[in-house]
A and B are shown apart, each in its own frame.
Chain A
Amino acid sequence: MNDTGFSLGARRRLVVQERIIGALLFGCGVVSVLTTIGIVVVLVSQSVGFFAEVSPLEFLTGTRWSPQLVPQSFGILPLLNGTLIIAIGSSLIAIPIGLASAIYLSEYSKPRTRRIIKPILEVLAGIPTVVYGYFGIMFVTPILRTIFPQTGIFNAASAAIVVGIMILPMVSSLSEDALAAVPRSLREAAYGLGATKFEVSTRVVTPAALSGIVASFILAVSRAIGETMAVALAAGATPRLTLNPLESVQTMTAYIVQVSLGDTPYGSLEYRTIFAVGLVLFLITLAMNLLSQRITRRFREVYE
C-alpha cells in the first residue's frame, strides 16, 4: 500500500483523466485560433484572385465604386468614406455621453440610482441591431427631415445617431469599470488636499483610469465600423464621396450585405469584391484592436 491511499490502477486512471480534460480544454481554446486563421485564409485567397484583375492602386485610390454597373469601377474610397462618416458621427455621440454617464455612475450617483440606471443602459446594448436600423428609418429620419428638409430618405446622420446610441453602453460600461478600478486612496488624498468633487472626478480619477477609458473608446469605434444591419437599413445604398451627413451613403459592411443577398454569380469578379472589401474591413478592425492593446499597456497605472 503506498502513502496516497489510492491503488496503483486508480492513480493511473486519475492521471489519464486529468490529461484528457486538459487536452479538451486546450482544444476549445485552439478552436477560436483556428477559426481566425480559417477566416484570414479565405479572405486572403479570394482577394488574391480579385487583385489579379484589379490593381490595388486603383482599388485603394479610385473614387468611384460601381462593380455591378456598366462601366465597372472598383475604387473603394466612397465605401471607406461612408464607413468613416458613420464611425465618426457615432463616436461624437457615444464618447462624450458615454464617458459622462460613466463618471456619473462611478463618482456621483447613489448606490440606489446606480442600481436602476446601470441595468437600463445594459438593455440598450441588448437591443438587436436590426431594430436600431428600423428605429433610425421610422423615427430619427422623419425628425431630421422636419429640421433639415433637404435630408434624404436614407441618410448617414440617422445611421450615425442610432449607431451612437447602440455603442453608448459599451463606452459607459467599460469606462465605468476603469474608473471603479482606481483605488479610493487616490480620491481621498485629493479630497484631503481640498479638491471639489468635480475636480477629483475630472483631474484625478479620470486621468488615472485613462488607459481603460481610451481602450473603451477604441473598442466602441471598431464596433461602429463593423456595424452592418443598422447602417444597411438607415444609411442607404449609394456609394459616394461626400461630407454631407444628410445624404445617403453606403458603408463597406452594407455593400457586402447587398452583394451577398443579390444575384451576383458565385466566383465572378463582382463576387470577389466581397472578400476584397471584407479584407480591408478586417485590417482596419485589427489595427484598432492592436492600437487599443498598445495604449492599454503603455498608460496602465499599476497600483500596489
Chain B
Amino acid sequence: MRRTTTFLTGLLALPLLAGCRGGGDAGEGLSGMIQTDGSSTVFPVTQAMAEEFQIANSGVRVTVGVSGTGGGFEKFCNGETAISNASRPIRDSERERCAANGIEPIELTVAWDGLTVVVNPENDWATCMTVDELRRVWQPGSTIRRWSEIRDGWPDQPIELYGPDTDSGTFDYFTESIVGEADASRADYTASADDNVLVLGVSGDGGALGYFGYAYYEQNEDKLKALEIDGGNGCVAPTRVTVEDQSYTPLSRPLFIYVRPDALERPEVRAFLEFYIENGEALVPETGYVPLNAADYDAQLAKLPATSGGS
C-alpha cells in the first residue's frame, strides 16, 4: 500500500518536472514568455510571426489571445499582456486608462486590411453595393429584412446578417466608416467574436450578408463571394493592389500592434518586435493581408525607443 502511494505520488509529480528544461538553445539564449491578446483580425499576422519566432528561439513562448480589440486593450492597460493586437487605433478613453496605470503604449502599424463584405456564392444578384446601401442595412433601427428593400430589382429573399460583436475592432471600424458613428449598429444580427463562425454562417445561408477581415475571406474564397464596394468612385473589389493604394475605400484600414515600454526592456520582447517588423514584407502576404512597403516598416522600427545599454 505504501509503495503504491509513493509510486502514484511520483507519477503525479512528473508533470511538474516538465517545467525544468535545459536552459537556452543554439544561438540567442533568449527565454521567457510573451503574452499578446486582442483583435481576431490581426491574430493571423501575430500568430504567424509568433510561430516563426519560436522556431528560431525555442526558449521563448509567445501566446496570442483573441479577446477582440477592446478586450485586448483592457488586458493591456491592466498590465496583463505585453503586446496588444488592434484592428483600430486606441481610443482616448483607453489611452487614459493605460496612463492611469503608468502605461504609455507605443503604436506600430504592421499591415493593411481590406475589410471585406461577403455574401453566399449562390447570391447572383449582388456584385457591388454602395456605402449608402450598406449604411441603410446596418444602421440602428434598420427594418430592412429582405434584399428587395435595398435595391429595386433585387429578389425578395430574406437577409441574414452576420458580423463581429461589440468587442471587435472590426465592428468599431465598420460602424464608424459605414454607419458614420462608432458602435452604431442594428442589434438583430448574428454576432460572434469568432470570424470562422461568421464564415460558416455566410457560406451556409443563401441570403446571408456579413463582414470581417480580408484574411478570413481569402482563406475561404471557395465558400464566399466578396462584394465590390462603391465608396463614391465606382465599384472597387478588395485585392492586394486596391487595399495598398487605398482605392478600396472606405474599408481599407491599417492594422496595429501596441507595445508597453516597460515590456520592451525585456530582451525577448524587443527581439520579437524587431523580428515582427523585419519580416513583415515576407510573412504578412501569407496571412492574406497587405504589407507596408519597406520604407514604412523602417519608420515603424524607428518608433521603438533605443535600448538603454545591452544587446
Contact = CB atoms under 8 A, between A and B. Distances in A.
B140 A70 contact: yes
Contact of A238 (B181, B184, B191, B204): B191
A129 interface: no
A208 interface: no
B197 A68 contact: no
A64 B143 CA distance: 14
A262 B190 contact: no
A240 B185 contact: no
Contacts of A64: 187
Contact of A153 (B70, B71, B185, B201): B201
Given A238-B187, A238-B189, A261-B71, 16 more contacts: A65-B187, A66-B140, A68-B166, A69-B183, A152-B190, A154-B190, A236-B191, A237-B165, A240-B187, A258-B165, A262-B67, A262-B70, A262-B165, A263-B68, A263-B167, A265-B93
Interface string B162-176: 000111000000000
Interface string A67-79: 0111101000000
A101 interface: no
Interface string A147-160: 00000111000000
25 contacts: A68-B166, A69-B166, A70-B140, A70-B181, A70-B182, A70-B184, A70-B185, A71-B140, A73-B187, A152-B205, A153-B200, A153-B201, A153-B205, A236-B190, A237-B190, A237-B192, A238-B188, A238-B189, A262-B67, A262-B71, A262-B165, A263-B68, A263-B70, A263-B72, A265-B97
Contacts of B195: none
Contact of A262 (B68, B141, B189): B68
The residue among A236, A262, A265 with the most chain B CB atoms within 10 A of its own CB is A262
Contacts of A265: 74, 93, 97
A239 interface: yes
Contact of A263 (B73, B187, B197, B200): B73
A248 B190 contact: yes
Interface in A58-93: 64-66, 68-71, 73
Interface of A: 64-66, 68-71, 73, 145, 152-154, 236-240, 248, 258, 261-263, 265
A23 B183 CA distance: 55
A181 to B, nearest CB: 40
A70 B183 contact: yes
B160 interface: yes
Interface string B193-218: 00001001100110000000000000
Contacts of B182: 70
Nearest to B69: A263
Contacts of A70: 140, 181-185
Contacts of B70: 262-263
A240 B184 contact: no
A73 B204 CA distance: 31
Nearest to A242: B188
A68 B185 CA distance: 10
A157 B90 CA distance: 39
Contacts of B140: 66, 69-71
Given A261-B67, A262-B70, A238 B183 contact: no
Contacts of B166: 68-69, 262
A240 B187 CA distance: 8
The residue among B68, B141, B160, B191 with the most chain A CB atoms within 10 A of its own CB is B191
Nearest to B71: A263
Nearest to A68: B166
A65 B187 CA distance: 8
A71 B182 CA distance: 11
B190 A239 contact: no
A145 B200 CA distance: 13
A262 B38 CA distance: 11
The residue among A65, A73, A145, A238 with the most chain B CB atoms within 10 A of its own CB is A238
A282 to B, nearest CB: 25
A240 B68 contact: no
B187 A239 contact: yes
A68 B190 contact: no
Nearest to B201: A153
A68 B201 CA distance: 23
Contacts of B184: 69-71
Interface in B47-81: 67-74
A152 B205 CA distance: 8
Contacts of A65: 187
Nearest to B162: A153
A65 B140 CA distance: 12
A248 B141 CA distance: 18
A63 to B, nearest CB: 11
Contacts of A239: 187
